[in-house]
């Protein structure tokens, strides 16, 4: 199967599950976020093996953060994530490794924070009252449409490299097409809905989501380049690993959450 067809197959199978979990919310969304988060963390820690991350501490901190977000909101998301430091210290104290303790703990915390906090903000968005369902589905659709259009436009019309060193496959043509369609997706999703009372707020939210998603994609590319790999895994066929699929979302979800809060107070 060609990479393009495999991407279509993964989208056809996975998108209904993701959107269905977001629609239902609650423990359904938590289960999806926790499952995806643990797989993504496994992929990251496998690539970062030379850093000797304390993987059990990272798993525990990420899941504790997600559980905190589900049970009692943002403060407990942060509190659960901070458990990573405690667990990392305990495991570092009893482990035998030649790697620097500082490096090992830093790699552990990076993974738990990057993935756990990123996915945790999806749960926080879903919990927004009274329009959390609309908001989280809007974020998911905006990231998906923006990524997909950017990939297709870059593949068939891309000429100018966006970041040749960090991510040679990204082009300005792809970014532009993805950005326009991403912002338009947010506008369509929120048009005449109750999340915002003015059109410009929806356009601002769309622009923030697209910008953050792009930075998230580039950040993962930079990490992969530093660790000497192209993909984080092959579990999703043409999409690579789970971390390859959710990298944009890990930056977009926190950015969208705080933008929604800020715009709602304007």
Q: Can you tell me which residue has the tokens 């800020």?
A: 262
pLDDT at position 154 is: 80
Q: Which pLDDT value is given to residue 2?
A: 54
Q: What is the pTM of this model?
A: 0.91
CA atoms within 13 A on the CB side of 67: 11
Among 162, 172, 147, 158, which Cα is nearest to 240's?
A: 147
Domain housing 34: 3-264
pLDDT of residue 124: 97
CA 196 to chain centre: 24
**Rounded CA Rg of the chain:** 18
Identify the pLDDT of residue 4: 60
Low-confidence ranges of the chain (pLDDT < 70): 1-7, 97, 158, 193-194, 197, 236-239, 265-266
**Dihedral angle, C-alpha 33, 39, 43, 49, nearest 10 °:** 110
pLDDT at 68: 96
DSSP code of residue 265: T
**Which residue carries 């589905």 as its tokens?**
137
pLDDT for the residue 213: 96
At residue 240, the 3 state secondary structure works out as: coil
- On the question of a cis peptide bond just before residue 239, with omega within 30 degrees of 0, the verdict is no
Count of structural domains, the chain: 1
Question: What pLDDT is attached to residue 239?
Answer: 64
């Amino acid at each position: 199967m060609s990479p393009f067809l495999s991407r279509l197959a993964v989208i056809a199978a996975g998108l209904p599950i993701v959107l269905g979990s977001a629609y239902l919310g609650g423990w359904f969304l938590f289960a999806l976020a926790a499952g995806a988060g643990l797989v993504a963390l496994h992929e990251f820690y496998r690539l970062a093996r030379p850093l000797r991350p304390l993987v059990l501490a990272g798993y525990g901190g990420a899941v504790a953060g997600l559980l905190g977000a589900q049970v009692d909101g943002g403060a407990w998301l942060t509190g659960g994530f901070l458990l990573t430091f405690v667990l990392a210290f305990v495991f570092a104290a009893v482990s035998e490794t030649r790697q620097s303790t500082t490096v090992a703990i830093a790699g552990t915390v990076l993974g738990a924070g990057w993935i756990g906090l990123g996915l945790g903000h999806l749960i926080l968005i879903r919990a927004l009252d009274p329009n959390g369902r609309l908001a989280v589905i809007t974020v998911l659709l905006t990231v998906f449409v923006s990524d997909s259009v950017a990939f297709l436009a870059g593949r068939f019309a891309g000429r100018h490299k966006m970041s040749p060193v960090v991510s040679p496959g990204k082009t300005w043509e792809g970014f532009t097409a993805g950005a326009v369609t991403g912002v338009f997706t947010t506008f369509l999703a929120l048009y005449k809905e109750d999340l915002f009372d003015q059109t410009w707020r929806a356009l601002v939210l769309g622009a923030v989501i697209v910008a953050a998603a792009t930075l998230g994609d580039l950040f993962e590319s930079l990490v992969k380049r530093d660790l000497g790999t192209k993909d984080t895994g092959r579990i999703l066929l043409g999409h690579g690993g789970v971390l390859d699929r959710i990298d944009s979302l890990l930056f977009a979800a926190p950015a969208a959450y705080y933008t929604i809060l800020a715009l709602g107070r304007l």
